[in-house]
Structure 1
Amino acid sequence: MTDKDKAVFNTGRKPQNLRSGLADTLMAQIESGDLKPGQRLPTEQAIMAATGVSRTIVREALATLRAKGLITTRQGLGAFVTNDPNPRSFSIIPNDLQSIDEVLRVLELRMGIEYEAAGLAALRRTPEDIERMQDRLDALDRALEGGGYGAQEDYAFHRSILVATQNSYYSRLFDTFGDIMVPRQWARLDQMTAAERKRHAARMRREHHAIFAAIRDGEEAAARRAIRTHLSKSSARFEELRDVTNAR
């Protein structure tokens, strides 16, 4: 490994999720042009020596880059940056959400998208949109009342807001991600007491009903506030989970 290769890994932090941390470091180097199209990546052994991670972690990180189309492997030669590593499309895959920090980043992205979408939906919603949102909200209520996660119902409700913008790019963007935008694997409902789950369900229902009411009533500013409040509280909960996890 050359000194330049070592510098690639010296810039990386030591995050809790080593696979995603290594993949993020390599992706950043590719996107910045420090690792150029066609350039050969250091060997697995060299990466292990530079980072101190296991061979399994290295291979998982490289698999993530391959899945994103950033690198390709050649039998007997190793891994190379693709000739055109700039992605033509964007997606979030399940492997991207292996830590709470990554979930928080997705929530930040959702905040930017849905804040604007909620305002547009309040201005542009049709009677059909209101009926659709009400139907999705009722399904979410039933799921939460039954003690479930309600991830698919939650996703469907939020998607109905994007549809109500009358701008198909919003809903098409969500369709790219699917219900992974509601990362139920980190909800940890199974670790809550019955009382905690009841409070959680009540909060979820209250926040979603506030979003719906504002959009239904055509209140643009209120719709934006309601969606921001909802996603901000979700972020706060995940931050608490992260702090508890880190303290163990």
Structure 2
Amino acid sequence: MSSPQPRSSAFRPLAPPRNLTRTLIERLSAEILDGTLAPGAKLPTEPEMMAALGVSRTVIREAVAALRAEGLVVTRQGVGAFVASDVRRRPFRIDPDGLQSIGEVLNVMELRTGVEVEAAGLAAERATPESLRRIERALAAIDRAVAQDEAAVDEDYAFHRAIADATGNPQFARFHEFLGRFVIPRQSVRAARGHMANPRAYLEMIQGEHRAILEGIRERQPPAARRAMRRHLENSRKRYRRLAAEG
């Protein structure tokens, strides 16, 4: 005989927070992941959840749809929603709603470092003349943006993306596309520039780091390219930590 499942606390009335759907998603996700809601367990019906939670049908449907997208729930037409049989194998993803501060972005930047350092080394080994020109054009675009007193956020992204493309491995480009849009905290960068005595000097310093990366790739020196990329990303994390401390 199987042991009784722990009594779930997920299905109790929700207080009126600013986002009922997000609160329900977080509550159900936590109980699915800690085993309170066991694999294969059937969720209550929509009317049952509406009555228990005190929320609308829309909130229930949006939460179940989000859990299904996360791989935590499966639905069977005409039968209902069930906890997925193997929730630990759900697809990897980063929730943009979870990156609300510089501190949270830093965790993703550490992951990015592992990928981009290797990308710089592979680009130094494999870059074609055309892919090298794309990196050079991206660097020149940053120079133009800096000269116009712009933040150069999109141009910075394009520079790193060009290096990912230069690896010749499409998985680097895909992973960079996945991470890149979450990694650059646009509002934080622009707010920080607004408090700097000399924002252009700050961006030119970063450009010096970019040029070192390009030089390693151009000279076909993978160790130098990796060192330059690691130095750049470590310095970026330090800069964002300072912003977090000041903020």
What TM-score, normalized to structure 1? 0.70
Q: What residue is the counterpart of 2:223 in the other structure? A: 221
Return 5+ residue gaps in structure 1 as ranges.
7-19, 48-59, 74-78
Assess if the C-alpha contact under 8 Å between 2:119 and 2:164 holds in 1: yes
Answering whether residue 92 of structure 2 is matched by residue 90 of structure 1, we say yes
Distance in 2 (alpha carbons) for counterparts of 1:141 and 1:80: 54
Distance in 2 (alpha carbons) for counterparts of 1:195 and 1:30: 50
Match of 2:142 among 133, 140, 156: 140
SS at match of 1:187: helix
Q: What residue is the counterpart of 1:244 in the other structure? A: 246
What CA deviation, in whole Å up to 9, does each residue of 1:28-63 have, x standing for no partner? 76456565334459x89x99xxxxxxxxxxxx9999
Q: What residue is the counterpart of 2:17 in the other structure? A: none
Distance in 2 (alpha carbons) for counterparts of 1:104 and 1:133: 25
Q: What residue is the counterpart of 1:160 in the other structure? A: 162
Q: What residue is the counterpart of 1:126 in the other structure? A: 128
Assess if the C-alpha contact under 8 Å between 2:121 and 2:225 holds in 1: yes
What CA deviation, in whole Å up to 9, does each residue of 1:97-153 have, x standing for no partner? 112222001100110000111111111111111111011111122122222222211
What CA deviation, in whole Å up to 9, does each residue of 1:213-247 have, x standing for no partner? 111111111111111111111111111222223xx
Q: What residue is the counterpart of 1:212 in the other structure? A: 214
Assess if the C-alpha contact under 8 Å between 1:27 and 1:65 holds in 2: yes
SS at match of 1:195: coil
Distance in 2 (alpha carbons) for counterparts of 1:129 and 1:21: 46
Distance in 1 (alpha carbons) for counterparts of 2:200 and 2:155: 18
Deviation of 1:182 (Å): 2.0
- RMSD of the TM alignment (CA)? 4.0
Deviation of 1:156 (Å): 1.0
What TM-score, normalized to structure 2? 0.70
Shift of the 70–121 alpha-carbon distance from structure 1 to 2, 3 Å rule, reads same
How many residues align structurally?
222
Deviation of 1:173 (Å): 1.5
Shift of the 241–72 alpha-carbon distance from structure 1 to 2, 3 Å rule, reads farther
Distance in 2 (alpha carbons) for counterparts of 1:126 and 1:25: 50
Runs of 4+ in structure 1 displaced over 6 angstroms? 20-26, 60-64
Match of 1:182 among 178, 181, 184: 184
Deviation of 1:161 (Å): 0.6
Match of 2:171 among 159, 169, 172: 169
Q: Report the AA paired with residue 167 of structure 1.
A: N
Deviation of 1:186 (Å): 2.2
Q: What residue is the counterpart of 1:13 in the other structure? A: none
Distance in 1 (alpha carbons) for counterparts of 2:28 and 2:217: 42
Shift of the 98–194 alpha-carbon distance from structure 1 to 2, 3 Å rule, reads closer
Decide which structure has the larger Cα Rg and report it.
Answer: 2
Return 5+ residue gaps in structure 2 as ranges.
10-21, 54-61, 76-80
